[in-house]
Amino acid sequence: MNSAELINSFAEFAKEKNIDRPTMIKILEDVFRTMIRKKYGADENFDVIINPENGDLEMWRTREIVDDESEDIWDFDKIPLAEARKIEKDFEVGEDVAESVKLDDFGRRVVQTARQTLIQKVKDLEKELLYEKYKDLVGDLVTAEIYQILGREIICLDAQGNELSLPRGEQIPKDRFRKGDSVKAVIHKVDMVNGTPKIILSRTSPVFLERLFEQEIPEVYDGLIMVRKIGREPGERAKVAVESYDDRIDPVGACVGMKGSRIHSIVRELENENIDVINFTDNLDLLIARALSPAKITSLNINRDAKRVSVFMKPDQVSLAIGKGGQNIKLAGRLIGMEIDVFRDIEGIEDDEDVDLSEFVDEIEDWIIEEFHRVGLDTARQVLALNKEDLVRRTELEEETVEEVLSILRQEFE
């Protein structure tokens, strides 16, 4: 194989892989310089000139002429005078000799190895480019084709034929795909595994739902409506808090559409996942009330340090707040970023004998009463409605103190 054949075959392969000309020349030069180092021990005094358009390759070795008796005669960048005069009879000591190095000088085996090395370098570069491309696309929505369905993942192909992985854990439980189907997903993360990029897709991520809103709702795409918070149980239910920067736009109405026309396509894509759209607000009390919809709360107490919220509501609202399988309260908690505790509000319900805690000042210290007030417990009945473990968790009181208070309050009603 001559240099033109080698370079031309490599150039065609590189073009197929969309490798640009400067990168292609650099790869070629690196490989040829590796060949030179293996044969001559160094490449500092070599020039490599490549023209991939016509396959031309020129390699020149430059050495300084030294006297035949010189100690430097064995240096890689020196040449004895006698040997130099075989090239040109009138050379003198101190001049430089430039010799052309041919590809054939390296031997057939080395040239074949160089060809394999060139192909491998392009493949490695292709992997690096793929990694860099998708690393910048994390969070973007893609549509891919199902190529192979395995036990733990589904292998998809993008428009360029690159493999993308949709793991079982990132699929909606109700998802059912066949080979050749198109699937929408969000690029979840990109890892390098043994030098090969692993592109992970997700359909369960809240980001996937946000991208679907951008795709289906023009006001979200244009930035007139912002998706602020999302809580999701993939395939089951989701809560989405939206906000409009234009007072003339109703963000919830715009997202749902006339008779649910806009939200319906998103629900269908998510395998009939129920989506509650609520108005976002910086007023945390109001946001909590909206997040727990359809349940209506009577009062609430927020512990920002512990990131917990205690909400009180009438007994008939508790089951609505908790929801089927605890879904409603779980999603509301994700939406506000806090744990939510729901309590029945027994104030004014079939009991006129309730006593305010402040009336127990002779038996219970003021700071203990204040601690109960701090968590929204103002009367004896409200405290007795909770068990000891709940009271210890909600307040900053010791277990022994809580037991003593419960004993005093029980005696009042005996």
Domain map (residue ranges) of the chain: 3-132, 142-204, 205-280, 357-413
- pLDDT number for residue 324: 82
- pLDDT number for residue 245: 85
Share of the chain above pLDDT 90, in %: 40
- pLDDT number for residue 259: 86
Q: What is the CA radius of gyration of the chain?
A: 37
pLDDT at 353 over 70: no
Quick one: which of 167, 239, 181 has its CA closest to 210?
239
pLDDT at 71 over 70: yes
- pLDDT number for residue 349: 46
pLDDT at 201 over 80: yes
At residue 121, the 3 state secondary structure works out as helix
Rounded mean pLDDT of 112-125? Answer: 81
Residue 249 φ then ψ, to 5°: -105, 130
The architecture that CATH gives domain 3-132 is 2-Layer Sandwich (3.30)
Residue 166 φ then ψ, to 5°: -115, 95
Q: What CATH topology corresponds to 142-204?
A: OB fold (Dihydrolipoamide Acetyltransferase, E2P) (2.40.50)
Count Cβ neighbours within 10 Å for each residue of 32-71 and write b for 16 or more, e otherwise: bbebbeeeeeebebbebebebeebebebebebbbbeeeee
The DSSP secondary structure of 343-380, one letter per residue, reads EE--TTSS-S---BGGGGTTTS-HHHHHHHHHTT--BH
**Highest mean pLDDT (candidates 95-109, 152-166, 376-390):** 152-166
- Write down the pTM of the prediction: 0.66
The architecture that CATH gives domain 205-280 is 2-Layer Sandwich (3.30)
Structure confidence at residue 176 as a pLDDT band (50, 70, 90)? very high
Quick one: which of 189, 118, 201 has its CA closest to 158?
201
Share of the chain above pLDDT 70, in %: 96
- pLDDT number for residue 108: 79
The whole-angstrom separation of Cα 360 and Cα 380 is 9
